[in-house]
Every structure is written in structure tokens, then in C-alpha cells.
Structure 1
């Protein structure tokens, strides 16, 4: 049986040495243990089947190789403060033009066929399901935010929630970075009941998505009449990044905990690209087609990726239908409040405590559709 100590050691390696986002590390640590992968074995093994990301797999292998050279087998030595100090400028998204970045981050198209959605059962763990719930929710509660911001903010929700659960089951201890004051002075938004510290992205201009089809014509008329860039955006409409306070704390930060931090180049964020990659690799269809593919001698990596994209599209379609059915009758605050309870009702069942950490289970998309106010509404907005 997996001990809390073993999980903590591997989790520290992934998040600190390999510099993998905490939420990704938490989601994959159990799979690594199930595959009997330690830092010594990782140095010789391929991780692409687990992470489905060649670049990320190589990053972890390189970190494991460094560790095996520095340490005796089984030992775990944290880096010295001087080695841990680093700049966080590289954690901010690469400097693409806004339209290019948003296009690059596009998620698989949400399925529009309700019969296909309702018959689909996904196999996943809880963290990426929270991420999907939050990403789609933000289209309705914070429509002024571009996809890049929604991904970052949703990943922040996942990490805050994951750390809270890790503390509850004994995998983490001590105060959070938020409780110690590392985010003091930074603005807060509430998403699915979690308070998230954010960084404003002043000057980031993008083409807003229109969630409600009936409002599209009115928006177009408004844009035709208004002079572009006549007025600066209202502060509440400014795109946001979700701040990674735990990374800030581990680095010892650019300033004292009770001092406001405002330098974009020195603050770690939850990157939209990492969140997108996490979504793309986290969902499998539990269906006869999956069973049939398992009988084949070899499934190519491209096939796996295509299947996961299709599974994600089904989930996104189910969530779109759920939120749209309530968006006309609930205000944004109430929609946000209910989203967490909806997630709890459909999340996969896992074992209690450490044994269930990172555990996977089935998610029936028919149950998500069953939460709609109006099940008869079956088509997504164009």
C-alpha cells in the first residue's frame, strides 16, 4: 500500500526538482507509483504514456538524472535557498500577439450531438474535472476574460482545491501561502467558492466571445457604433492571470509576505498552456470502442491524442448545455455557487484518504445533462 511519505517524496520531486505545476504533479503522482517509477527508474524510462507530452516527459527525466547523480538511492535533499532562487519571467506566457495566443490555446470543439454526449462515460480523476467545470463556468460568470485567462484562473482553482484536500488527508502540512500573506495586496476573484489571487493583464486586447446567441446582434451593433480604443477598459474587464502563491512562497518571493507585489516579471502564474495540456491528456472514453482498441497490438500516440480530444469535446459539450440552461435565470454569483455542488454530484468515486489520491473513476455525462434546468434544450450556440 502506498504510504503518505512515499507520495510526499515523489510529489516534492515533481513539483520542486522537475518544476512541474503542482496540480499536474498531484494528478500524475499516483500513476507513477502504480507503474513503480521512482526517481532512479524515471531516469531510464519513458514517461510519454503517462504525461502524453514529450517535452514534459523529457523535463522530468532530466531532473531524475540530475538527482541520481547528486543523491544516494532513496534520499531526498531539497535544494539550497540559493539554488531555489529564480526569476519567474519565464512562467509568464510567451510573447505572442493576443489573437495568436488565443488561437493557439483553442480547445477541441464542444460536441453538439446530445445523444452522443448522453451515452458517453469518461474515465478520469477529480482534478481535471474541476478544471473543465471552471473553464466553462467562466464563460458565463466572467465573459470578459479571454480563454487564456480562463484557463489560468481555472488552474488556480484546481491547485487551491488540491492543496486543501492534500492537507486534509495528511499529504501536506502547515499554512498555505495565502494564509501566510504572500498574496496580500493582490486582487481577489471568487470561482466555484474559492478565493483566487490574480494579476491584472493591463493592455491585453482581444476579441470577446459572445455566450448568449440572442445578444449577438446587439453586440455587433454596439461595436459598429463605437470608436475603437476611445476609452480605457474598466478595471473589472481587464484580463487576469491566476497567481501561483505556493510557487512564490517556495522561491522565497521577490518581497516580504506582507508587501504588495506588482512586478509582472517576478510573479509566478498558472500558465494557460499547462492548463490546456492538462485538459487534453486527462480524459478517456470508457466505451466499447476503447475496449476494441485495447485488443490491437499497438495504439499510436496520435490515436491516443485524438481519442482524448474527442472525450474532452464531449465533456465540454455537456458542460456548455448545463450552464446555458441556467444562465438566463441565475445571476453570476448564484451560477458560480451552484457549480461546485454540480461538480460534487458527478465527480468520480475514489477511495478515502491517501489511497484515493489521484485515483480515477467514471464520469457519466448523462448525469451532467441531468442537472440542466431545461433538458429539452439540446443544441449548442454557434
Structure 2
């Protein structure tokens, strides 16, 4: 029996069959010594577990001299092979469903794609906003600020790019926070050379590596009719607010690079590391934003009925409304300052604004802690008084 078979068998016996390690080792030795062909374990299949699943109980019992353990091993082997045979079909179904969910419609133009990525907005008055308190954690709030501020500091970027770039900022901040908390150690992917030579842009005061999308025109296929008043579609069809600055270095649409995923995404030599790099996809970022904000309720004022009460669980429409209110509040602040600040200064202040209104919670590594309150009145107080 080859060394790889021994390791696989030992892993199966100890993990799948749940045998004590000493018993599993003894089983491996017994199987190595046994005349397997005599017991109809023919060793012609791709794995030793498959061989065991095709054997009979008497064969295993004769090898181990323990009927109970033999049954345990045989049943575990049959379960393992049953899962293996059904997994490809099951995974294919999941892949098909996922593809159906995220892929654009057939013959969709770039303009259609950008419209599909639109974010909720709101026409709520400042009085209504000032009375709104949301519940969220820090990561999605950073996302919301980054998506909003890049609408002003990088007006040439479509919503797909702004979503991707925003997630690049959040991922970089998550890595920094994890290192500071001692959760992550060692060099980051960027320090190891991933993304070397790629362009860099600054968002919320942080440099992030990007990938230029030279072959993508977000206005391709744009229709003449006016865009929706209730959605932020990346400013494709709506007039831009007045600004005292324009982007000094106009860039094509960009993707934010997911450098921490690069080592797993591409295991080829360092010479090829800039040729095939993973990106933060706009669809996943949008989906995360849509589910991350709810209305804060004071303790004791939650809907009655307990956890099983569906009315106590915010609907997707309610969460989208909360996100729209938040984006409107941030937009009011950015627009109030955009006529007097440079792009760099607006970007720098936006990070300070986030720090001023972020939820007062103990941050963790990935999710940045438990949820806390975000008062939209605090956000509105940051706007420039004209």
C-alpha cells in the first residue's frame, strides 16, 4: 500500500469513521497485512475508501476481529462514496444557480450592467434623515463612505468600479486591523510582491492597487431616456453636481484588486504575478451593502413575537431603504463641500467623517465587531453650512 494510500486511509478511519487514533493505526496495519483479494477488496478503484465500501462485512470483520468496528468502518465508507458520487451533480446545480444570479442578461450592454448595479437612494428630507438611526457594523459603513465619496473625487468611474474600489479599501483596512489585533501575522500579499507594477489610487486616504479596464465603456448601449430618480446608477444618466475640481489624471474604469486572494488565485511564478490577479466583484459588494443596514430600535421596542416572528426580521426592501437613507445623508455632506475642496482634500476629510460617525463597538478582524448605532443627524452635522 503506497504512502499516500496509508495517509488517506488513516484520515478516513480517524475522521469519517470516527475511530480512536490508536484503533485507526491498528486497522491500517491489519489491512496492510491482509490478503485483500481473498476478501473481495480488489483494489482496482481510485481510492481505498471506495474499495472498503465495495467489500462485505465479513471481510472487514475477519481483518479486524471486531464486528462493531467493522460495521462502523463499512457504513462510513458507504456514506463517503455516496457523497462523492452525488457531489458533482449537486455542485453543478449550485454553480448553475450562482451563474444565473450574477451574470447579466443575454446581450446586455455595459450601460445595462451598470444600471443593474444601481444602489438605492432616497428623496427623504433632512428632517426625516436627522431622525433616523441605523444599526450596522464598521465595514459596510466604510463601504458606503467610499462608494459615495468616489462619486465626487473620481467622477469618471462607473458604479461597478466604485463598488470594487470601495471593497479594496475595506479589505486593506481589515488586514491592517487584523495585524494590529494580533490575529494576522506575516507579510501581506502586497508586501510579498503581488500586484507589483499595478497602478495605485488613493481612496479614503489609503493607497489601493487597481486594474485598468481599457476595453470597457460604461456608456456603451446607453439609452436616451432619463435614469431613475430612486437609484444611484453611477451617474450615467443624471447631471453631475457642480464641483470646483476635476480629476487631474482621468483614468479608464478600474477594478480594485483583491491582493490577499492573489496567492490562492494564481500560484504561478512571480514573473506572472501581475498578469492574472483577482478583483473585487461589484455584484458581491452590492449584495453585501444591501443587507448590512437596518433601523435601530431601542431595547424593549422590538416587534413582539420573539425570534420566530417574521415581522421582527427586516425585509430586503426595508434594508434597501435604510441604505438609501444613509447614502443620501453622505451625499448631502459630500456635495456641500465639493465646490470648495480639492479632490484630495475631500477624500481626506471623508475618512475623518467616517471616524466621527462610526459605530462605537469593539472591532474584530473580518466583520469589524458587533453592530452599533449610526445616527444620520451626526452625518448631516458634517455638511458645510452655506
Interval containing the TM-score (normalised by the shorter chain): 0.5 to 0.7
1:193 aligns with 2:205: yes
**Is contact 2:110-2:216 (8 Å) kept?**
yes
Task: Report the equivalent of 2:113.
Answer: 101
Shift of 1:139: 0.3
Q: Distance in 2 between matches of 1:333 and 1:354?
A: 28
1:127 aligns with 2:139: yes
Q: Among residues 240, 247, 268, which one is paired with 2:254 in the alignment?
A: 240
Task: Report the equivalent of 2:127.
Answer: 115
Shift of 1:185: 1.1
Distance 1:69 1:363, change over 3 A: farther
| 179-188 or 344-353: bigger deviation | 344-353
TM-score by length of 1: 0.63
Task: Report the equivalent of 1:336.
Answer: 347
| 149-158 or 108-117: bigger deviation | 108-117
1:284 aligns with 2:294: yes
After TM superposition, the structure 1 = structure 2 runs for residues 27-38 of structure 1, keeping only pairs within 5 Å, are none
Q: Distance in 1 between matches of 2:122 and 2:116?
A: 16
Distance 1:294 1:109, change over 3 A: farther
Task: Report the equivalent of 1:316.
Answer: 327
Task: Report the equivalent of 2:194.
Answer: 182
**Is contact 1:130-1:158 (8 Å) kept?**
yes
After TM superposition, the structure 1 = structure 2 runs for residues 209-220 of structure 1, keeping only pairs within 5 Å, are 209=236, 212-213=240-241
After superposition, the C-alpha distances for 1:117-173 in whole angstroms (9 at most, x for unaligned) are 110111110000000000000000000000000000001100000111011101111
Structure with higher Rg: it is: 2
Q: Distance in 1 between matches of 2:274 and 2:250?
A: 19
Q: How many residues matched?
A: 265
**Is contact 2:136-2:294 (8 Å) kept?**
yes
After TM superposition, the structure 1 = structure 2 runs for residues 17-166 of structure 1, keeping only pairs within 5 Å, are 94=103, 96-166=108-178
Task: Report the equivalent of 2:371.
Answer: 360
Which residues of structure 1 form unaligned runs of 5+?
1-67, 71-89, 216-233, 377-382
SS at match of 1:293: coil
Q: Distance in 1 between matches of 2:280 and 2:144?
A: 15
SS at match of 1:237: coil
Distance 1:94 1:197, change over 3 A: farther
Q: Distance in 2 between matches of 1:250 and 1:346?
A: 36
Task: Report the equivalent of 1:58.
Answer: none
**Is contact 1:111-1:117 (8 Å) kept?**
no
Task: Report the equivalent of 1:372.
Answer: 383
1:274 aligns with 2:287: no
Distance 1:69 1:192, change over 3 A: farther
TM-score by length of 2: 0.62
Q: Distance in 1 between matches of 2:348 and 2:165?
A: 16
**Is contact 1:293-1:299 (8 Å) kept?**
no
Task: Report the equivalent of 2:49.
Answer: none
Q: Distance in 2 between matches of 1:98 and 1:301?
A: 39
Higher relative contact order (CA 8 A, sep 6+): 1
Q: Distance in 1 between matches of 2:345 and 2:301?
A: 41
Distance 1:357 1:130, change over 3 A: closer
**Is contact 1:125-1:348 (8 Å) kept?**
yes
Q: Distance in 2 between matches of 1:154 and 1:355?
A: 15
Distance 1:298 1:334, change over 3 A: same
Q: Distance in 2 between matches of 1:291 and 1:175?
A: 47
**Is contact 2:177-2:365 (8 Å) kept?**
no
Distance 1:192 1:365, change over 3 A: same
**Is contact 1:124-1:362 (8 Å) kept?**
yes
**Is contact 1:201-1:238 (8 Å) kept?**
yes
Shift of 1:361: 0.7
Shift of 1:288: 7.0
1:171 aligns with 2:183: yes
Shift of 1:357: 4.4
SS at match of 2:155: coil
Q: Distance in 1 between matches of 2:294 and 2:342?
A: 33
**Is contact 1:143-1:211 (8 Å) kept?**
no
SS at match of 1:236: coil
